[in-house]
């Protein structure tokens, strides 16, 4: 016998047991984002490669090493999206969505990065992302952070810490970058291979190194905060004041940088210590230059994304479960003509808004009743030859005391509803 085909490494099936928690999480997020005025947008999973090269940046880890890029059958280079912001901004420009003012949008779906798979890190993973386009002030940055804080609270999550930083505007970043290059050049012998390679292309990324041997060097490197102009400083102070006023605790992490080139000013992450190395649940920030960079009129913007796998892992870790969804009734049936009658009754109950599980396949009443009990249903509806001939049903309470009763369909619906 040939070996069965397995899913691709780093790409997971989400099985029914776990999917319950996924659906609960997704529905909670959708409701919450909508309540803050975010409208849903859905973009294709595949985009032209140059969209990502141009927005995420040529010398980022994602573009250099992690994209699923291939020629389509016409020879055009296409890429499975590694993140959602670029595609979202592309769609906004293509459809001129900002014609009547700022927009708040959210999306969800699979993203693809060729990373080394481990707990909390996969090659196909899922994100929810929110983008606020056309908003300049720190109020929108604060609101997005507050919205995430509310999401954790709604889901019952604890142990998530908010870290924020400002990476300033282009000019400050350029001056800081020059100072960094100079500093790293002066300590060239202590740089690892990645840092040497990035010395001139992306020295900022080295500040985020996980290499223990370089921590000291990085600790003493020139700080971006010292290069911020007054406007960026005021923006960052404004954000901090709003978060404080909203009662959201945060830590300023002056080393926080993100793996995309399009960010400026605010960057933030929500981090947990409960998921080992992959502790970042959500990340985001401001990207005031991206709309123009992708061919639109200049527009300020701010956004974030979080990984659904990591969120679900953390929920499981903390013992959060989705509210149980027990069916109202389990329909047990056997005998001549019973099945046709049973289907009719089940549909009648569903018309009345009840959830009904109908036993599939032929087996004894006894084993069907065991299944009914195990399903968690509140009632068993029993259809045998008698009921089929008379056109009624037997209703047996499974979770409360009480006798089995012969009832008409409307009477049974009333009885089940009473129980609600
Ligand atoms: P990023 O788009 O890199 O800012 O990541 C935003 C969030 O997406 C992270 O905080 C994670 O929760 C999630 N994420 C990013 N990459 C992965 C991955 N390879 N596997 C699972 N989740 C991921």
| DSSP state string for 190-225 | G--HHHHHHTTT-HHHHTT---GGGHHHHHTSPPGG
Question: What pLDDT, on the 0 to 100 scale, is given for residue 361?
Answer: 83
Helix H or strand E encompassing 106? strand 103-112
Q: What is the mean pLDDT of residues 352-373?
A: 92
- CATH number of this structure's domain 329-417, picked from the four choices 3.30.360.10, 2.40.10.10, 3.40.50.800, 1.20.950.20: 3.40.50.800
From the CB of 309, is ligand 1 less than 6 Å away? yes
Question: What pLDDT, on the 0 to 100 scale, is given for residue 1?
Answer: 57
Q: What is the CA radius of gyration of the chain?
A: 28
From the CB of 305, is ligand 1 less than 6 Å away? yes
Measured by CA distance, the residue closest to atom 12 of ligand 1 is: 307
Ligand 1 centroid, distance to 214 Cα (angstroms): 24
* pLDDT for 303 beyond 90: yes
Strand partners, 106: 40, 130
User: For a pocket test of ligand 1, which of 280, 286, 287, 311 has the largest count of ligand atoms closer than 8 A to its C-beta?
Assistant: 280
Measured by CA distance, the residue closest to atom 18 of ligand 1 is: 121
DSSP codes joined into one string, 14-62? --HHHHHHHHHHHHHHHHHHHHTTPEE----SEEEHHHHHHHH-TTSHI
From the CB of 81, is ligand 1 less than 6 Å away? no
Question: What pLDDT, on the 0 to 100 scale, is given for residue 173?
Answer: 84
* pLDDT for 309 beyond 60: yes
Share above pLDDT 70 across residues of the chain, in percent, rounded to a whole number: 99
Distance CA 302, CA 265 (A): 10
Give residue-wise pLDDT tens across range 167-201. 998 888 889 989 999 999 999 999 999 899 988 88
* pLDDT for 296 beyond 90: yes
Give residue-wise pLDDT tens across range 67-109. 999 999 999 999 999 999 999 999 999 999 999 999 999 999 9
Ligand 1 centroid, distance to 254 Cα (angstroms): 21
- Could you tell me the pLDDT band of residue 210, with boundaries at 50, 70 and 90? confident
Share above pLDDT 90 across residues of the chain, in percent, rounded to a whole number: 77
Ligand 1 centroid, distance to 85 Cα (angstroms): 13
Mean pLDDT for the chain overall: 93
Segments making up each domain of the chain, as ranges: 16-169+229-317, 329-417
- Could you tell me the pLDDT band of residue 61, with boundaries at 50, 70 and 90? confident
Measured by CA distance, the residue closest to atom 4 of ligand 1 is: 283
From the CB of 272, is ligand 1 less than 6 Å away? no
From the CB of 368, is ligand 1 less than 6 Å away? no
End-to-end CA gap in the chain? 51
User: For a pocket test of ligand 1, which of 84, 126, 127 has the largest count of ligand atoms closer than 8 A to its C-beta?
Assistant: 127
Ligand 1 centroid, distance to 111 Cα (angstroms): 9
* pLDDT for 43 beyond 70: yes
From the CB of 307, is ligand 1 less than 6 Å away? yes
Name every residue whose Cβ is closer than 8 Å to that of residue 96 and which is 6 or more positions away in sequence.
none
Measured by CA distance, the residue closest to atom 14 of ligand 1 is: 307
Helix H or strand E encompassing 179? helix 170-186
Give residue-wise pLDDT tens across range 375-402. 999 999 999 999 999 999 999 999 888 8
- Could you tell me the pLDDT band of residue 420, with boundaries at 50, 70 and 90? low
Ligand 1 centroid, distance to 328 Cα (angstroms): 39
Residue 280 CA: which ligand 1 atom is closest? 10
Residue 305 CA: which ligand 1 atom is closest? 6
Q: What is the mean pLDDT of residues 362-378?
A: 92
Ligand 1 centroid, distance to 76 Cα (angstroms): 27
Question: What pLDDT, on the 0 to 100 scale, is given for residue 87?
Answer: 97
Q: What is the mean pLDDT of residues 25-48?
A: 98
Question: What pLDDT, on the 0 to 100 scale, is given for residue 289?
Answer: 92
Distance CA 218, CA 359 (A): 64
Cα three-residue angle 125-263-131, rounded to 5 degrees: 60
User: For a pocket test of ligand 1, which of 120, 305, 308, 309 has the largest count of ligand atoms closer than 8 A to its C-beta?
Assistant: 305
16-169+229-317 placed in CATH 3.30.930.10: yes
From the CB of 310, is ligand 1 less than 6 Å away? yes
* pLDDT for 133 beyond 90: yes
From the CB of 82, is ligand 1 less than 6 Å away? no
* DSSP three-state, residue 182: helix
Scanning 187-335, the segments in alpha helix (DSSP H) are 193-198, 203-206, 215-219, 230-245, 290-293, 308-317
Contact status, residue 93 vs residue 294, Cβ threshold 8 Å: yes
Residue 269 CA: which ligand 1 atom is closest? 10
From the CB of 176, is ligand 1 less than 6 Å away? no
User: For a pocket test of ligand 1, which of 306, 307, 314, 315 has the largest count of ligand atoms closer than 8 A to its C-beta?
Assistant: 307
């Amino acid at each position: 016998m040939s070996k069965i085909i397995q899913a691709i490494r780093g790409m997971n099936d989400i099985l029914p047991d776990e999917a319950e928690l996924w659906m609960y999480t997704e529905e909670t997020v959708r409701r919450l984002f909508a309540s803050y005025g975010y409208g849903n947008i859905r973009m294709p999973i595949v985009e032209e490669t140059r969209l990502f090269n141009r927005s995420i940046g040529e010398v980022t880890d994602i573009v250099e090493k992690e994209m699923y890029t291939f020629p389509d059958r016409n020879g055009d280079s296409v890429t499975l999206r590694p993140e959602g912001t670029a595609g979202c901004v592309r769609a906004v420009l293509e459809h001129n969505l900002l014609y009547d003012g700022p927009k708040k949008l959210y999306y969800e779906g699979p993203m693809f990065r060729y990373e080394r798979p481990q707990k909390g890190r996969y090659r196909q993973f899922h994100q929810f992302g929110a983008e606020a386009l056309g908003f300049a002030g720190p109020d929108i940055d604060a609101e997005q952070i507050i919205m995430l804080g509310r999401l954790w609270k709604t889901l019952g999550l604890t142990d998530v810490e908010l870290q924020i930083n400002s990476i300033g505007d282009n000019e400050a970043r350029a001056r800081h970058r020059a100072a960094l290059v100079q500093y790293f050049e002066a300590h060239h012998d202590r740089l690892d291979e990645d840092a040497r390679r990035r010395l001139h292309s992306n020295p900022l990324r080295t500040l985020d190194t996980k290499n223990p041997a370089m921590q000291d060097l990085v600790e003493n490197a020139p700080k971006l905060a010292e290069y911020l102009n007054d406007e960026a400083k005021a923006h960052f102070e404004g954000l901090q004041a709003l978060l404080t006023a909203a009662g959201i605790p945060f830590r300023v992490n002056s080393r926080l940088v993100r793996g995309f080139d399009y960010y400026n000013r605010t960057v933030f992450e929500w981090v947990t210590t409960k998921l080992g190395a992959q502790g970042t649940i959500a990340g985001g920030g401001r990207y005031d230059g991206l709309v123009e960079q992708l061919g639109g009129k200049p527009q300020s913007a701010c956004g974030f994304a979080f990984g659904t796998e990591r969120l679900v892992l953390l929920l499981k870790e903390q013992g959060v479960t989705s509210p149980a969804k027990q069916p109202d009734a389990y329909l047990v049936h056997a005998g001549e003509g019973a099945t046709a009658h049973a289907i009719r009754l089940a549909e009648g109950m569903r018309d009345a808004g009840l959830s009904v599980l109908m036993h599939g396949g032929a087996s004894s009443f006894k084993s069907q009743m065991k299944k009914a009990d195990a399903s968690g249903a509140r009632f068993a509806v029993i259809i045998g030859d008698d009921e089929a001939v008379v056109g009624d049903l037997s209703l047996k309470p499974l979770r409360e005391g009480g006798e089995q009763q012969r009832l008409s369909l409307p009477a049974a619906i009333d009885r089940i509803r009473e129980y609600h």
